[in-house]
């Protein structure tokens, strides 16, 4: 009976050993298939989030060219205008009167010129018969020249009056968006008064950075620009950064701030003066990163498996910011295990040179 019990116990132990071996085989195969990577510092840009204000390249005033009363205004704040478009009409009641006076003067001079031409023709005929002297003929010819010149001057004066009438049309000085219309129909204005303000020439972002970053930024830097927080219908939406370029850094520091301009496409739907977030690179730092799939989380604690002389060892780590996958043309070594994969910063727990086991 005792021998039977011993044989049963030995059989159970053998069965257990076989089960453990079967379990260990996949684990060993998985461990053998796992890749490794050697941690090395990675240089990443340090960015600062600031607000950029939408500015227009040109802010020009549409001014009255003559004095008078505004008859109509065809634009309002926010209207889109093209250069040369009529945006208002100014009426001067004196211009029609001056025009009628000029027309009457021209008719008088035309009649006098016709009489002078008749006298000249008669004098020329009489001169052939010797009935009049040469001085009388010269006098008639001079009179024709005088009336001709006077008529030309009167017609020029009438052209000036007509030009003044046409200048009653206020034209848009540039293509863009109307920002302000400080007058209303019926207002009395003088020549040079502002009728509207037009923002044109495209839009850019004006940044204001602390002066400690003045030496760390340079023209040509790539920046990230946030989209509008509110959509056209007023509903909040997710901010999706876009790529912009730092095109100008102003050499003067005012009130501890340095100004810079950023160009980015798609600012035409913004309000002039609207603010949006801009992330601008101001420094660089070294970080240690591992692929996100190399991190295991259990009970709220993050672990990374290291390959040591004694074998794989799990180490608790503290994670930092995440980094998006690198583009193929930006990856220094596309054959590396972490190339083109999302990585995460390791704040503590690992150091350069450690061998990280990857799944």
pLDDT of residue 145: 92
Please list, in sequence order, all residues whose beta carbon lies within 8 angstroms of the beta carbon of residue 68, skipping any fewer than 6 positions away: 90, 91, 92, 93, 168, 188, 189
User: Does residue 355 register a pLDDT over 50?
Assistant: yes
User: Which position has the higher pLDDT, 100 or 27?
Assistant: 100
pLDDT of residue 269: 67
Mean of pLDDT values over 137-151: 90
* CA distance readout (Å), 252 to 208, 276, 339: 12, 23, 42
Average pLDDT, the chain: 81
What residues does each domain of the chain span? 50-56+205-282, 58-180, 288-359
Q: How is domain 50-56+205-282 classified at the CATH fold level?
A: Elongation Factor Tu (Ef-tu); domain 3 (2.40.30)
Residue of 245, 66, 82 whose CA lies nearest to 160: 66
Rounded to an integer, what distance in angstroms lies between the CA atom of residue 61 and that of residue 80?
15
Please list, in sequence order, all residues whose beta carbon lies within 8 angstroms of the beta carbon of residue 176, skipping any fewer than 6 positions away: 56, 58, 80, 81, 198, 199, 200, 201
Query: pLDDT band for position 65 (50/70/90)?
Result: very high
| 297 in Cβ contact with 263 (< 8 Å) | no
As assigned by CATH, the class of the 288-359 domain is mainly beta
> Can you tell me whether residue 170 is helix, strand or coil?
strand
User: Does residue 216 register a pLDDT over 90?
Assistant: no
Mean of pLDDT values over 163-188: 92
pLDDT of residue 238: 55
pLDDT of residue 31: 44
User: Which position has the higher pLDDT, 26 or 289?
Assistant: 289
| 217 in Cβ contact with 280 (< 8 Å) | yes
Neighbours of 228 (CB within 10 A): 17
User: Does residue 20 register a pLDDT over 70?
Assistant: no
Provide the 8-state DSSP code for 218: -
| 65 in Cβ contact with 191 (< 8 Å) | yes
The CATH code of the domain at 58-180 is 1.20.120
Rounded to an integer, what distance in angstroms lies between the CA atom of residue 291 and that of residue 42?
13
Of 52-61, 172-181, 319-328, give the lowest mean pLDDT range. 319-328
Mean of pLDDT values over 261-275: 81
| 279 in Cβ contact with 227 (< 8 Å) | no
User: Which position has the higher pLDDT, 220 or 14?
Assistant: 220
């Amino acid at each position: 009976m005792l021998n039977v019990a011993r044989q049963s116990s030995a059989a159970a132990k053998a069965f257990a050993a076989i089960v453990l071996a079967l379990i260990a085989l996949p684990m060993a195969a998985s461990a053998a298939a796992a890749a490794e990577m050697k941690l090395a510092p990675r240089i990443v840009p340090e960015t600062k989030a600031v607000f950029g204000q939408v500015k227009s390249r040109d802010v020009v005033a549409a001014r009255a060219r003559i004095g008078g009363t505004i008859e109509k205004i065809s634009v309002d704040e926010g209207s889109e205008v093209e250069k040369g478009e009529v945006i208002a009409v100014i009426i001067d009641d004196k211009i029609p009167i001056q025009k009628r006076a000029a027309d009457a003067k021209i008719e008088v001079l035309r009649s006098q010129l016709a009489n002078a031409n008749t006298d000249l023709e008669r004098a020329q005929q009489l001169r052939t018969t010797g009935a009049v002297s040469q001085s009388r003929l010269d006098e008639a010819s001079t009179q024709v020249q005088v009336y001709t010149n006077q008529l030309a001057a009167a017609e020029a004066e009438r052209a000036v009056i007509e030009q003044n009438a046409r200048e009653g049309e206020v034209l848009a000085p540039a293509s863009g968006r109307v920002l302000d219309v400080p007058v209303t129909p019926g207002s009395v204005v003088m020549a040079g008064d502002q009728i509207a303000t037009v923002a044109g020439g495209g839009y850019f972002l004006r940044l204001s950075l602390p002066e400690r970053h003045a030496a760390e930024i340079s023209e040509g830097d790539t920046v990230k620009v946030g989209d509008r927080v509110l959509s056209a219908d007023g509903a909040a939406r997710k901010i999706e950064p876009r790529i912009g370029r730092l095109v100008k850094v102003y050499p003067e520091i005012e009130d501890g701030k340095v100004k810079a301009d950023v160009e980015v496409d798609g600012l035409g739907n913004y309000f002039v003066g609207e603010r949006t977030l801009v992330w601008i690179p101001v420094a660089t730092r070294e970080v240690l990163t591992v692929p996100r799939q190399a991190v295991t989380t259990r009970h709220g604690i993050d672990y990374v498996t290291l390959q040591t002389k004694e074998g794989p060892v799990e180490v608790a780590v503290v994670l930092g910011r995440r980094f998006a996958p690198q583009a193929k043309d930006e990856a220094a070594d596309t054959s590396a295990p972490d190339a083109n994969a999302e990585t995460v910063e390791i704040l503590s727990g690992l150091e350069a040179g450690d061998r990280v086991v990857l799944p």
